[in-house]
A and B are shown apart, each in its own frame.
Chain A
Amino acid sequence: MNLSRTALAIPLALILAACSQKAAEPAGGVPALPPALSAEGNFGATLQGALISAKAGDTIVMPEGTFTLTDPLSLDIDGVTLRGAGQGKTILDFAQQSGAGEGLLVTSDDVTLMDFTVRDTKGDGIKSKGADRITYRFLTVEWSGEPDENNGAYGVYPVESTDVLVENVTVRGASDAGIYVGQSSNIIVRNSVVEYNVAGIEIENSSGADVYGNIARNNTGGILVFDLPDLPVSGGNSTRIFANEILANNTRNFAPAGNIVAGVPSGTGVIIMANRNVHVFDNTFDNNRSTHVLITAYSLPFTDEAYNPLPRDIVVRDNRYTGGGDDPQGMLAPLAAALGGGLPPIVWDGVSSWPGAAGPTDVNLTIAEAADIQFLNLGVPSYPLDPSTLAPSPERPGSAPPTEPAPIVLPHGGN
Chain B
Amino acid sequence: MSVILDEAPAQNLSDYGLFADMASARPAPGVVPFDLVNPLFSDHAQKQRFVFVPLGAAADYDDTDVFDFPVGTVLVKTFAFAPDMRQPDQGAYRVETRLLIHKASGWSAFAYIWNAGGTEAVYAPIGGRQQIETISPSGAPLSINYSVPNQNQCKTCHQAGDALSPIGPKARNLNHKGQLEDWAERGLLAGLDGAAPAAPAVFDVTLPVEARARAWLDINCAHCHKPDGSASNSGLVLSSTETDPAKLGIGKHPVAAGRGAGTLFQVIVPGAPDRSILAFRMASVEPGVAMPELGRSVPDPEGLALVREWIAEMERPE
Contact = CB atoms under 8 A, between A and B. Distances in A.
Contacts of A260: 253-255
B179 interface: no
Nearest to A121: B288
Contacts, number: 175
Contacts of B208: none
B233 A49 contact: no
Given A3-B83, A159-B233, A259-B261, A49 B256 contact: no
A99 B126 CA distance: 14
Contacts of A282: none
Given A98-B145, A129-B230, A259-B254, A230 B122 contact: no
Given A99-B147, A256-B258, A6 B131 contact: yes
Contact of B122 (A2, A10, A99, A300): A10
A48 B258 contact: no
Given A154-B258, A258-B277, A231 B130 contact: no
B17 interface: no
B150 A100 contact: no
Interface in A343-361: none
Interface string A105-117: 1010000000000
A400 interface: no
A176 B93 CA distance: 43
Contacts of A149: 259
A101 B152 CA distance: 14
A399 B155 CA distance: 50
Q: Interface SS of chain A: helix, strand, loop or mixed?
A: loop
A48 B245 CA distance: 39
Given A175-B259, A231-B255, A15 B125 contact: yes
Contact of B150 (A2, A9, A48, A70): A48
B83 A74 contact: no
Interface in B82-138: 83, 91, 93, 113, 116, 122-134
Interface residues on A, range: 35 or more
B40 interface: no
Interface string A124-158: 10000110000000000000000001111110010
Contacts of A53: 125
A52 B287 contact: no
Given A76-B152, A122-B287, A300-B253, A257 B247 contact: no
A98 B233 contact: no
Interface residues on B, range: 35 or more
B219 to A, nearest CB: 20
A122 B256 contact: no
Q: Which of A45, A301, A303 counts the most B-chain CB atoms under 10 A from its CB?
A: A303
A5 B130 contact: yes
A8 B258 contact: no
Contacts of B127: 71
Interface stretch (B67-75, B186-194, B262-270): B262-270
Contacts of A157: 256
B153 interface: yes
Contacts of B253: 228, 230, 258, 260, 300
A175 B116 CA distance: 43
21 contacts: A1-B91, A2-B133, A4-B131, A8-B128, A10-B122, A10-B125, A49-B126, A52-B126, A52-B152, A53-B125, A71-B127, A74-B152, A98-B147, A98-B297, A101-B260, A153-B260, A175-B258, A182-B233, A230-B247, A258-B264, A303-B245
Interface of B: 81, 83, 91, 93, 113, 116, 122-134, 145, 147-148, 150-153, 155-156, 159, 162, 227, 230, 232-233, 235, 245-247, 251-266, 277, 286-288, 293-294, 297
Interface of A: 1-6, 8-10, 15, 45, 48-49, 51-53, 70-71, 74-76, 97-101, 105, 107, 121-124, 129-130, 149-154, 157, 159-160, 175-176, 180, 182-183, 228, 230-233, 256-260, 300-301, 303-304
Given A157-B256, A258-B257, 11 more contacts: A2-B83, A4-B133, A5-B130, A99-B287, A107-B152, A123-B288, A231-B255, A232-B232, A258-B253, A258-B263, A259-B261
Query: Which A-B residue pairs are the 4 nearest by beta carbons?
Result: A153-B258, A258-B261, A123-B288, A74-B152
